[in-house]
A and B are shown apart, each in its own frame.
Chain A
Amino acid sequence: MIKLLAEAFDPFEEVKRFQEQSAGSACAVGATSIFIGTMRDFNEGDPVVSMFLEYYPGMTEKQLKDIVAEAIGQWAVLNVLVVHRVGNISPGDPIVVVAVETSHRGDAFDACRFIMEALKSKAPFWKKEQLKSQESRWVGNNSKGYAPE
């Protein structure tokens, strides 16, 4: 399940709904890996008061779908949830939730991380930060944050 939301959301409610909807395979699920990304109030040493998240309607959903399909092809994945915010966001707001249900923990951890890293490098989203100094700026690049061995 892939969702883009223009309003603030509760990631735990989203995961709860996801688990209810995927209840058909509940007995096969032995592991659920969940990643929640939230907005910081600082970036590159500067205080940030808000952020705008632009996306490419149509392509963003397609990329997310392709990324999930790739994960399903690579690991024994039962169910996947990806929720991502767009629009105006405040510090502390959740930006993204990825939840992966599998039978075994290795697949859950690996597929969840793969989806998250692929999302950050391929899905067309762009962040524009409003700084405390009144200036605004586009975030130039996502940090690497992860170096697969």
Chain B
Amino acid sequence: MSIKVRYFASLKESLGSDGIELFVTEPLTVEQIWSQATGQVGLPDNILVAVNMVYVDQTAEITDGDEVAFFPPVTGG
């Protein structure tokens, strides 16, 4: 399965990357995707997650072709 992982704003800066393409062999949760992509164990509490541009929680399951975005709290307006 191919998963597109994206990072935004301060998270993009701290990780030094705007994302990564992951290839996985079994369905994973958002939290497992985070660990595979960043090498960090556990998703920080303040990080928001969207799958295919819809907010989800860290237990959401990812399927082939999904775009998973991780980002800090939003500050528009």
Instruction: Determine if chain A interacts with chain B.
Output: yes
Question: What residues of chain A have their CB less than 8 Å away from a CB belonging to chain B?
Answer: 37, 53-56, 58-59, 62-63, 84, 95-96, 116, 119-128, 138-142
Q: Are B76 and A119 in contact (CB under 8 A)?
A: yes
Cross-interface CB contact of A54 among B6, B9, B77, cutoff 8 Å: B9
* Complex contact B75–A139 (CB within 8 A): yes
- Cβ contact of A141, chosen from B9, B13, B73, cutoff 8 A: B73
The answer, among A37, A56, A63, A126, for a CB contact under 8 Å with B75, is A126
User: Known: A54-B8, A58-B53, A126-B10. Is A142-B69 also a contact (CB below 8 A)?
Assistant: no
**Can you list 9 A-B pairs with a CB-CB distance of less than 8 A?**
A56-B50, A120-B76, A121-B74, A122-B74, A125-B77, A126-B8, A126-B71, A126-B72, A140-B75
When the two chains form the complex, which single residue of B8, B13, B73 contacts A56, counting CB atoms closer than 8 Å? B8
Question: How many CB-defined contacts (below 8 Å) exist between A and B?
Answer: 74
| Alpha-carbon gap, A121 to B73, bound state (A) | 8
Q: Spell out B's residues near A (CB within 8 Å).
A: 6, 8-10, 13, 50, 53-55, 69, 71-77
Known: A126-B10, A138-B10. 17 other contacts (CB 8 A): A56-B8, A56-B53, A56-B71, A59-B69, A63-B53, A84-B77, A96-B77, A119-B77, A120-B74, A122-B55, A126-B8, A126-B71, A127-B76, A138-B9, A138-B75, A141-B75, A142-B76
